[in-house]
């Protein structure tokens, strides 16, 4: 498996992953946004959002107060949101489908639908937000690519170190580049772990991505990204 960093750090020419994915707590519940979390625009706490349709969201999970992982309902409306208030953590998986780059443009279609294809990929993304530390928060919620803190990140402060575990198919994943604060901080070790020093208060976003070859004829590779999101006191 060839493992790569999230596209918005390494491959800006590929727009399928050139955006952040984040979960925002609002008066009506928690909402999934896509766009640029720290763009300087003010529509959502300084973020610039990009619309998506309901089919973009593939799965949503809640870690409840008892440490059980429960599915959350998917809706026919976008943006996706849940009014559930008792989730210690929420993970949402999404996909914008197949993308193909040509010398002239990049289109949201499989490789076979475009003449002169240079590169094609399947984009799959996920984000996990932690709001409280409950039993089960130190283990993955899914079998997909996921970043999990090994201790309560909400109890930390700027300057502290946090060890996170990257898993894929339920197993620790070695050699995965991890980004924090817009920069590569290193790669996971043989045990799938990496230590990161938290630099500032406020919303934290830790990202990783893996790239794997595809043989379905629709794309050259699948690029799967994961984000861990939590907030530190300032």
The average pLDDT across 192-205 equals 96
Question: What is the reported pLDDT for 117?
Answer: 94
Domain ranges for the chain: 7-229
Task: Report how far residue 188's alpha carbon sits from residue 194's, in angstroms, rounded to the nearest whole number.
Answer: 5
Distance CA 8, CA 186 (A): 16
Query: Is residue 5 pLDDT above 50, yes or no?
Result: no
Tens digit of pLDDT for each residue in 27-48? 889 999 998 775 343 344 556 8
Question: DSSP letter at 132?
Answer: S
Q: Answer yes or no: are the C-beta atoms of 63 and 136 closer than 8 Å.
A: yes
pLDDT tens digits along 138-196: 999 999 999 999 999 999 999 999 999 999 999 999 999 999 988 899 999 999 999 99
Closest CA to 151 of 133, 168, 166, 128: 133
Q: Write out the DSSP string of 134-179.
A: -TTTTS-SSSSSEEEESS-GGG--TT-EEEEEEEETTEE-TT-EEE
Q: How many CB atoms lie within 10 A of CB 65?
A: 12
Q: Is the separation of the CB atoms in 125 and 225 below 8 Å?
A: yes
pLDDT (tens digit per residue) in 54-93: 999 999 999 998 899 999 999 899 999 999 878 999 999 9
Coil vs helix vs strand at 112: helix
In this structure, how many other beta carbons lie within 10 angstroms of the beta carbon of residue 111?
A: 21
Q: Which DSSP helix (H) or strand (E) runs through 66? A: none
| Residue 131's pLDDT band (cuts 50, 70, 90) | very high
Residue 120 vs residue 182, higher pLDDT: 120
pLDDT of residue 46: 54
What sign does the CA torsion over 57, 59, 63, 64 have?
positive
Alpha helices in the chain (DSSP H): 7-10
Residue 234: pLDDT band (50, 70, 90) is: confident
Helix (H) or strand (E) holding 48: strand 48-49
Question: In the prediction, which pLDDT does 19 show?
Answer: 72
What pLDDT sits at residue 48? Answer: 84
Q: Please tell me the distance from the alpha carbon of residue 48 to that of residue 46, in angstroms, as a whole number.
A: 7
Looking at 15-19, 30-34, 77-81, 205-209, which range is the least confident one? 15-19
Torsions phi, psi for 222 (to 5 deg): -105, 130
Arithmetic mean of pLDDT, 87-104: 96
- Look at residue 11 in the predicted model and tell me its pLDDT: 37
Q: Categorize the per-residue pLDDT at 101 as very low, low, confident or very high, splitting at 50, 70 and 90.
A: very high
Q: What's the mean pLDDT in 196-215?
A: 94
* d(C-alpha 69, C-alpha 148), whole Å: 14
Q: How confident is the model at residue 18 (pLDDT cuts 50, 70, 90)?
A: low
């Amino acid at each position: 498996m060839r493992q790569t960093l999230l596209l918005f750090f390494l491959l800006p020419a590929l727009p399928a992953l050139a955006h952040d994915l984040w979960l925002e707590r609002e008066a009506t519940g928690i909402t999934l946004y896509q766009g640029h979390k720290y763009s300087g625009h003010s529509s959502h706490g300084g973020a610039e959002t990009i619309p998506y349709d309901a089919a973009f969201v593939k799965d949503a999970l809640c870690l409840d107060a008892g440490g059980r992982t429960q599915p959350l309902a998917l809706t026919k409306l976008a943006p996706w949101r849940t009014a559930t208030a008792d989730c210690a953590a929420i993970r949402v998986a999404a996909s914008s489908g197949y993308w193909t780059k040509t010398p002239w443009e990049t289109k949201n279609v499989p490789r076979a639908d475009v003449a002169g294809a240079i590169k094609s990929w399947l984009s799959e993304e996920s984000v996990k937000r932690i709001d409280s530390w409950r039993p089960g928060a130190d283990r993955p919620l899914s079998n997909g690519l996921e970043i999990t803190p090994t201790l309560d990140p909400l109890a930390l402060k700027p300057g502290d170190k946090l060890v996170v575990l990257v898993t894929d198919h339920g197993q620790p994943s070695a050699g995965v580049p991890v980004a924090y604060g817009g920069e590569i901080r290193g790669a996971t070790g043989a045990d799938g772990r990496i230590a990161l020093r938290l630099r500032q208060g406020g919303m934290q976003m830790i990202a990783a991505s893996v790239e794997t070859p595809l043989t379905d004829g629709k794309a050259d590779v699948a690029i799967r990204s994961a984000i861990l999101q939590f907030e530190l006191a300032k």
